[in-house]
Structure 1
Amino acid sequence: MVLAELDDIRPLLVCPRCRSELEADPAGTGVGTGALRCTAPDCAYHASPAFPDVAGAPVLVDFEHSVVRREAVAALASPAHVHRGADALPTPLRRIAKPPNRVAAVNVDLLLRALPGPAPTLLVVGGATVGNGVEAVYRDARVRVIGFDIVTSPATQFVADAHRIPLRSSSVDAVLVQAVLEHVLDPAQVVAEIHRVLRDDGLVYAETPFLQQVHAGAHDFTRFTASGHRYLFRRFEELSAGPVAGPGTQMLWSVDHLVRGLTRSALAGRATRAALFWLRGLDRLVPPDFAQDDASAVYFLGRRRDREMAEAEIIAYYRGAQGPS
């Protein structure tokens, strides 16, 4: 896995509250010894204790405006999040329960090919686990990968809340945000932050659920239609967009959760889902316009721009199978 060293990206890090530069916290508070503080004397995060460190990862969170609590910082180092669900299964079963995401693989290849220069910087938002189909990002030695999440991980360099990304404006060339926007309280604010940290003509690749049941429990908040997803990224030029998976996959989600509800057993639901894996194959038989209306998840690949899509444009944007009302 190719990740930028924390020391290499320190010049890009800023205070999540006021975006001032950071410096070592002389009080050395936190679980580790690399605690940081804001350099602005009038910022709330200048006085110690400021930003603690967990297992060598700085926790750059504005605790007053986040679901991450200062008193729970030590728990962020728990390894429990690294392998869960289908990821914990043996490889043959994992490929049935969670087949390779070919849509993501194709779009990530397009993104990597479009990145400028010899050493572009790519930010992974919510990168505690390596996403399905995006593995090429971590294999490309040309790309400097920065990752963060609200927990620590071997695939991240720091802990942060995506509503207040602790990076300088115009500091990265691309952003990857896969299966994350449903787990944030304010997706529009997160996308605004993505727009801020991207350089001019920077790229974004996003995947977000449309028709999926609740997952991640209390940390699951939002779903998007294809049109809603496009409007969320209204300050970006669209390069490609569409369903990640269609109604066959969506039916698998529904059957899984129906069985869970009837049996009160998540294991029974997952077993049923594995037995009916062939339903995913029906996605290939559904025309794109119908798949647009019934997608399990949707994606957007776009380029940063300053002009914002007008309200009337999103009505004309609709590509589904339902004609004008």
Structure 2
Amino acid sequence: MVLAELDDIRPLLACPRCRSGLEPDPAGAGAGAGAGAGVGTGALRCAAPGCAYHVSPAFPDAAGAPVLVDFEHSVVRREAVAALASPAHVHRGADALPTPLRRIAKPPNRVAAVNIDLLLRALPGPAPTLLVVGGATVGNGVEAVYRDTRVRVIGFDIVTSPATQFVADAHRIPLRTSSVDAVLVQAVLEHVLDPAQVVAEIHRVLRDDGLVYAETPFMQQVHAGAHDFTRFTPSGHRYLFRRFEELAAGPVAGPGTQLLWSVDHLVRGLTRSALAGRATRAALFWLRGLDHLVPPDFAQDDASAVYFLGRRRNREMTEAEIIAYYRGAQGSS
């Protein structure tokens, strides 16, 4: 896995409250976030004297990773920083299964692989910077991002992970304005309280003509429990990224996959057992094949998830443009 070193990206980091630069916290280990919080000598603070995060305790560490969160405006709590390093947050669901079963329960995402290839080919210069929002686990189909030695990868999530350099809340990305060339946000926007604010932050940290690739559920049952908030139709997803030029968009998975989700959760409800639901999903894996038999316009109206690949711009899509954008099977009625 190719990740940028934290020291290399430190000049790009910014205070999540005021967006000023960061500097070492002279309090060091004394910048505590509570007993056992893992605060070390690498703790950081805001460099702006007037900012609340200039005064210690500022930004603590969790397992050696800076926690760059505006705690007053986040679901991440300062007193819970120690728990952010728990491995229980990182591996869940199909990712914990043996490889053969995992490929049945969670087959390779070929749509993502194709679009990531397009994104990597479009990145400028010899050493472009790509930000992964919600990158605690390497997403399905995006592995090429982490294999490309040309790309400087920055990752963050609200928990620590070998695939991230720091902890942050996507509503207030702790990076300087116009600091990255591309952003990957896969299966994340359903888990944030304000997706529009997160997309605005993505727009802010991207350089002119920067690229974004997003995948978000449309018709899926609740996952991640209390941390699951939002779904998007294809048109709604496009309007969410209305300050971006579309390069490609469409379903990630269609009605067959959506039906598989529903059967899984129906069995869970009838049996009160998540294991029974997952077993049923594995037994009926062939339902995904029906996706290939559904025409694209019908798939738009019944997709399990949708994707968007776009380029940053300043002009917003108008109300008339989003109505005309609809590509489903229901016509103008």
Q: Normalized against structure 2, the TM-score is what?
A: 0.96
Correspondence for 2:67: 59
Change in Cα spacing, 1:28 to 1:21, as seen in structure 2 (3 Å) is farther
Determine the C-alpha separation between the residues in 2 that align with 1:25 and 1:133. Answer: 39
Aligned Cα RMSD in Å?
A: 1.3
Q: Are 1:137 and 1:143, in contact at CA under 8 Å, matched by a contact in 2?
A: yes
How many residues are paired up?
325
What is the DSSP-based 3-state SS (H/G/I as helix, E as strand, rest coil) of the residue aligned with 2:48?
A: coil
Q: Deviations over 1:121-143 (max 9, x none)?
A: 00000000000000000000000
Determine the C-alpha separation between the residues in 1 that align with 2:85 and 2:36. Answer: 18
What is the DSSP-based 3-state SS (H/G/I as helix, E as strand, rest coil) of the residue aligned with 1:174?
A: strand
Determine the C-alpha separation between the residues in 1 that align with 2:105 and 2:50. Answer: 52
Q: Are 1:243 and 1:295, in contact at CA under 8 Å, matched by a contact in 2?
A: yes
Determine the C-alpha separation between the residues in 2 that align with 1:313 and 1:32. Answer: 51
**Alpha-carbon distance, 1:62 to partner:** 0.2
2:269 equivalent to 1:261: yes
Q: Are 2:37 and 2:82, in contact at CA under 8 Å, matched by a contact in 1?
A: no
Determine the C-alpha separation between the residues in 2 that align with 1:318 and 1:62. Answer: 38
**Alpha-carbon distance, 1:56 to partner:** 1.4
Determine the C-alpha separation between the residues in 2 that align with 1:121 and 1:3. Answer: 10
What is the DSSP-based 3-state SS (H/G/I as helix, E as strand, rest coil) of the residue aligned with 2:309?
A: strand
**Alpha-carbon distance, 1:31 to partner:** 2.6
Determine the C-alpha separation between the residues in 1 that align with 2:174 and 2:111. Answer: 30
Determine the C-alpha separation between the residues in 1 that align with 2:10 and 2:38. Answer: 18
**Alpha-carbon distance, 1:33 to partner:** 2.5
Correspondence for 1:115: 123
Could you tell me which runs of 5 or more consecutive residues in structure 1 were left unpaired when the two chains were aligned: none
What is the DSSP-based 3-state SS (H/G/I as helix, E as strand, rest coil) of the residue aligned with 1:45?
A: helix
Change in Cα spacing, 1:62 to 1:248, as seen in structure 2 (3 Å) is same
Q: Are 2:38 and 2:64, in contact at CA under 8 Å, matched by a contact in 1?
A: no
Determine the C-alpha separation between the residues in 2 that align with 1:217 and 1:248. Answer: 24
Deviates more, 1:124-133 or 1:25-34: 25-34
**Alpha-carbon distance, 1:323 to partner:** 1.1
**Alpha-carbon distance, 1:316 to partner:** 0.1
Q: Deviations over 1:72-92 (max 9, x none)?
A: 000000011222111111111
Structure 1 runs (4+) deviating above 4 angstroms are 27-30
Identity of aligned residues (%): 94
Q: Are 1:28 and 1:34, in contact at CA under 8 Å, matched by a contact in 2?
A: no
Q: Are 1:124 and 1:177, in contact at CA under 8 Å, matched by a contact in 2?
A: yes
**Alpha-carbon distance, 1:28 to partner:** 13
What is the DSSP-based 3-state SS (H/G/I as helix, E as strand, rest coil) of the residue aligned with 1:156?
A: coil
Q: Are 2:133 and 2:184, in contact at CA under 8 Å, matched by a contact in 1?
A: yes
**Alpha-carbon distance, 1:157 to partner:** 0.1
Determine the C-alpha separation between the residues in 2 that align with 1:146 and 1:320. Answer: 36
**Alpha-carbon distance, 1:29 to partner:** 8.7
Q: Are 2:183 and 2:211, in contact at CA under 8 Å, matched by a contact in 1?
A: yes
